Structure 1
Amino acid sequence: MRINESFGYLINLTARNMKKVLEEEIKKYGITTSQWIVLKVLEEEDNLTQAEVAKKLSGDRATAGAVIDRLIKKGLIYRNQCENDRRANRVRISDHGRELAERICIEAVKCNEKALRGFRNEEVKQLFTYLYRINNNLDINNM
């Protein structure tokens, strides 16, 4: 098998290319794609613990914590101690963070549209179905 015939290589290349395109578009906002995705998670469901954010991103707590710390320094989110568990903190998106997430979402939609240019709606739906199935097949929690 040649490298360009490897499904894993091709899907990884596609993901990296999409990330590069989006990062180029959002660098004017002084934010990375990793930071934006945390903002987006908090925009959709605010007041989460760091562990909950990490779980929603299928990542680890340490990485999520580093991104959260950077977003706090930028004033895009803030952290409060949990009332019922003093060891845990909850993070919330600020008004400025919510506004920025909405602006960057427009750029993300453009990136998706660019990637899917020439696809019919039913092809896009089928692609999503396939990607969800692949991810479910590879989810270590389902094995």
Structure 2
Amino acid sequence: MNESAEIPTAAAIRLAEMGLENFAPYLMNRIMGRYNAALQTEMAALGLTTPQMRSLAVLSTIDGILIRELAVYAVVQQSTLSRALDALDRDGLIRRETDEIDSRATRVFLTDSGRETYERLWPHMSLAYEAMFKGIDEAQKRAFVGTLKTMLRNIRKHDF
């Protein structure tokens, strides 16, 4: 049996003993909740929801991605993503095209308007990102991001 699949023993530390302030998943959720909340005003001004913002952000770096991959990168359930993409398409921020290799699959592309909207939001995203790292030197930041990458590799279900 592989170690990550082992069932914890009764001796494993319980959450109440560890405390929320020492439980990494809780801390990561709190951080992302604050990050998303910091962007709410700007997203609302642009008529965007969090799933739409995440989709535009991913598409700004990986344009033409398959919808199933976008769901993974944007960390959005497929049903929620579908509604978000419908709204982005309706607003002219994305376009969807059938994949050339697999006619059952769909690729998503940013339109010029979508890129402009993302570019208007990016400065706010960048400021919120920098606020998270206030008082953390560059070496600590690199080490932390490296640790997050390792953690993601440890738990991910996809090759990306």
TM-score, length-normalised on structure 1?
Answer: 0.84
Alignment of 1:38-77 (within 5 A): 38-77=55-94
Say if 1:123 and 1:61 are closer, same or farther in 2 by CA, change over 3 A: same
Give the alignment's Cα RMSD to 1 decimal: 2.2
Matched length: 142
What displacement does 1:13 show? 1.3
For residues 62 and 30 of structure 1, what CA distance do their matches in structure 2 show?
20
Q: Deviations over 1:47-85 (max 9, x none)?
A: 233223224335443332222111112211122334454
Structure 1, gaps ≥5 residues long: none
Q: 2:121: which partner in 1?
A: 104
SS of structure 2 residue aligned to 1:11: helix
**Structure 2: segments with no counterpart, 5+ residues:** 1-16
Per the alignment, residue 106 of structure 2 pairs with 89
Q: Which residue of 1 aligns with 2:8?
A: none
Cα shift at 1:141: 5.3
Specify the alignment match of 2:4 in structure 1: none
**Structure richer in helix, relative to its length:** 1
Would the aligned equivalents of 1:38 and 1:53 in 2 still touch at CA under 8 Å?
A: yes
Rounded to whole Å, the distance in 2 between the matches of 1:8 and 1:38 is 23
Q: Distance in 1 between matches of 2:31 and 2:53?
A: 19
Which residue identity does 2:149 align to in structure 1?
Y
Q: Which has the larger radius of gyration?
A: 2
